């Protein structure tokens, strides 16, 4: 039983070779292409999943961006409300300075009328500027504290061209005081459309 004829052995070897060839052909043509298709489908699914995650993140950040925009708009409107009104800048300046200096020992009896000025910050800047000349008297320390607090309280007003001199009145009350002259450059809120 162990002994096979040469013809049977050749047939068995031929059947084995044909079976291996057919198996290899099936593997290469069917199974391997299906595996490649499956890999491509998995990669596409992964890419779609990442796109979906990015889209969801975008939607989440869109809500945050909208909230931040609304908050920035409210802050801008609040700051613009404190700016000089385009129709009555002179009375705004007097009222603003008198209200602010109430807590300081600074006297400001002279307010000059506004002069239009260039902002010179950016092209197409939506704000105009006005320049006011102001004169007054104060002690040196009181004036310095007033200036520092004023610039911190009103970031849209710039103090420039400060001139200090001894007060001209010879009375004992004015001996230690300084006379000052300064310019206030302020932004003027735009006219509402």
Quick: pLDDT tens for 48-105. 999 988 888 888 888 888 888 899 888 887 877 777 767 777 888 888 888 888 888 8
Closest CA relative to residue 120, chosen from 158, 163, 78, 81: 158
Query: What's the whole-number average pLDDT of the chain?
Result: 82
Total-model pTM: 0.59
State whether the Cα torsion 171-147-126-64 is positive or negative: negative
Q: Which two tokens stand for residue 113?
A: 């009328």
Compute the distance between CA of residue 128 and CA of residue 187 in angstroms, rounded to an integer.
Answer: 6
């Amino acid at each position: 039983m162990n002994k096979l004829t040469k013809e049977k052995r050749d047939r068995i070897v031929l059947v084995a070779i044909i079976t291996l060839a057919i198996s290899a052909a099936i593997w290469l043509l069917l199974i391997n292409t299906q595996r490649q298709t499956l890999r491509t489908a998995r990669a596409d699914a992964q890419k779609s999943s990442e796109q979906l995650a990015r889209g969801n993140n975008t939607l989440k950040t869109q809500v945050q961006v909208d909230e931040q925009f609304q908050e920035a708009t409210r802050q801008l409107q609040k700051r613009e409300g404190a700016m000089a009104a385009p129709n009555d800048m002179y009375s705004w300046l007097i009222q603003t300075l008198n209200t602010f200096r109430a807590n300081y020992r600074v006297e400001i009896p002279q307010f000059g009328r506004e002069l239009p000025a260039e902002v010179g910050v950016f092209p197409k800047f939506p704000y105009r500027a006005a320049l006011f000349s102001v004169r007054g008297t104060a002690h040196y320390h009181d004036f310095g504290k007033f200036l520092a607090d004023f610039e911190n309280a009103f970031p849209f007003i710039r103090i420039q061209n400060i001139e200090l001199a001894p007060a001209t009145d010879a009375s004992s009350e004015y001996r230690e005081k300084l006379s000052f002259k300064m310019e206030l450059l302020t932004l003027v809120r735009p006219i509402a459309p």
